[in-house]
C-alpha cells in the first residue's frame, strides 16, 4: 500500500474540528450523553478516554507488523480493555468521588467506537508517531465537545459551573437539562449549530473565491 504524505500538525488538528469525533463523525455517543450532566464529570471522562485512545493507538501502531489480520479486532479490543482497566483503577485511587458518579461508564470506554475506529482506520496503518498524534487530536476533539456539552447542561440544569454557583438566588434550575432528555436535546442543538457554522464557512469561502476571481 502506498502511504500518503503525512503532516503531523495536520493529523493532530483534524480531530479538533474538521473530523471532530462527536460533531462530525457522531461516534461514541453513549459516554458523550451519559456523563455530561456536569462539567467535572465530562472533563474526567474526556481525560480518561484521551488516555485510553493515545495508549491503545500507540500499542496498535507499534505492534501492527505482528497482528494477523484475521484476529485483529479481538486483539484491538483486548488492548483497549487493558488500558481501560488501568484508567479505571487509577481513577478509583485518585478521585473516588468522581469515579463513583461515573460508575459503569468508565468500563464502557471499551466499547467507545471512537477508539476502535481510530485503531482500525488509522493506527494499524501508519507509523507510531502519526498514530499518537492522530489519537491525541481525536482525544482533544472529544474533550472539547464533551466539555462543551457538560458546561451547557450544568449551567442550565443547576445554575453552577464546576460546582460554583453562577447566578443569584432567583435562578430557577432547568432540571430537565441534567436529566436524559436534556442530553439528547442539547447535543441535537449543538449539532445544528455546528452544521450551520460549517455551512456559513463554506459560503464565506465561496464568496472570497468569487471576489478573488473578479479581481483577477
Partner 1 sequence: MENLVWIFISTLLINNFVLSYFLGLCPFLGVSGRLETSFRLGMATSFVLVVTAISVWFLNTYVLIYAPYLRLISFIVVIASTVQFIEMAIKKLSPALFKALGIYLPLITTNCAILGLAVFATSRNYGFLEGLAFALGAGAGFTLALVLMAGIREEIEKTGDIPDLVRGTAMNLLVAGSLSLAFMGFAGLFSAG
What are the residues binding partner 1 (CB under 8 A)?
26-27, 29-30, 33-34, 73-74, 77-78, 81-82, 84-85, 88-89, 103-104, 107-108, 110-113, 116, 176, 179-185, 187-189, 191-192, 195-196, 199
Quickly count: other Cβ atoms within 10 Å of residue 101's Cβ: 15
Taking the complex as a whole, how short is the minimal distance between the CB of residue 33 and partner 1, in angstroms? 4
Quickly count: other Cβ atoms within 10 Å of residue 120's Cβ: 15
- Identify the CA nearest to 45 among candidates 37, 55, 35, 33: 35
**Cα dihedral 20, 29, 90, 95 sign:** positive
Taking the complex as a whole, how short is the minimal distance between the CB of residue 186 and partner 1, in angstroms? 8
Nearer to partner 1, 92 or 166 (CB): 92
Taking the complex as a whole, how short is the minimal distance between the CB of residue 77 and partner 1, in angstroms? 5
Please enumerate in sequence order all residues whose Cβ is within 8 A of that of 201, keeping only pairs 6 or more positions apart, or say none: none
Nearer to partner 1, 117 or 159 (CB): 117
Taking the complex as a whole, how short is the minimal distance between the CB of residue 58 and partner 1, in angstroms? 19
Q: String of b and e for 75-84 (b: at least 16 CB within 10 Å)?
A: bbbebbbebb
Nearer to partner 1, 129 or 199 (CB): 199
Nearer to partner 1, 18 or 199 (CB): 199
Taking the complex as a whole, how short is the minimal distance between the CB of residue 64 and partner 1, in angstroms? 20
Q: Which residue has cell 507509523? A: 127
- Rounded Cα distance, 214 and 135, in Å: 42
- Identify the CA nearest to 110 among candidates 210, 30, 203, 17: 30
Taking the complex as a whole, how short is the minimal distance between the CB of residue 188 and partner 1, in angstroms? 3
Nearer to partner 1, 10 or 173 (CB): 173
Q: String of b and e for 25-44 (b: at least 16 CB within 10 Å)?
A: eebbeebbbbbbbbbbbbbb
Nearer to partner 1, 166 or 193 (CB): 193
Amino acid at each position: 500500500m502506498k502511504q500518503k504524505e503525512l503532516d503531523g500538525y495536520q493529523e493532530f488538528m483534524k480531530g479538533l474540528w474538521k473530523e471532530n469525533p462527536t460533531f462530525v463523525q457522531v461516534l461514541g455517543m453513549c459516554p458523550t450523553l451519559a456523563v455530561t450532566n456536569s462539567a467535572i464529570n465530562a472533563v474526567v471522562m474526556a481525560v480518561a478516554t484521551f488516555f485510553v485512545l493515545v495508549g491503545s493507538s500507540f500499542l496498535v501502531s507499534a505492534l501492527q507488523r505482528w497482528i494477523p489480520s484475521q484476529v485483529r479486532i479481538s486483539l484491538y479490543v483486548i488492548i483497549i480493555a487493558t488500558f481501560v482497566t488501568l484508567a479505571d483503577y487509577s481513577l478509583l485511587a485518585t478521585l473516588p468521588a468522581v469515579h463513583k458518579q461515573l460508575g459503569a461508564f468508565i468500563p464502557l470506554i471499551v466499547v467507545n467506537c471512537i477508539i476502535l475506529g481510530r485503531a482500525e482506520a488509522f493506527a494499524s496503518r501508519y507509523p507510531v508517531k502519526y498514530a499518537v498524534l492522530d489519537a491525541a487530536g481525536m482525544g482533544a476533539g472529544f474533550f472539547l465537545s464533551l466539555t462543551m456539552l457538560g458546561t451547557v447542561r450544568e449551567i442550565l440544569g443547576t445554575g453552577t459551573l464546576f460546582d460554583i454557583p453562577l447566578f443569584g438566588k432567583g435562578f430557577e434550575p432547568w432540571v430537565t437539562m441534567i436529566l436524559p432528555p436534556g442530553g439528547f436535546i442539547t447535543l441535537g442543538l449543538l449539532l445544528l449549530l455546528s452544521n450551520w457554522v460549517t455551512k456559513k464557512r463554506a459560503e464565506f469561502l465561496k464568496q472570497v473565491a468569487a471576489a478573488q476571481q473578479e479581481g483577477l
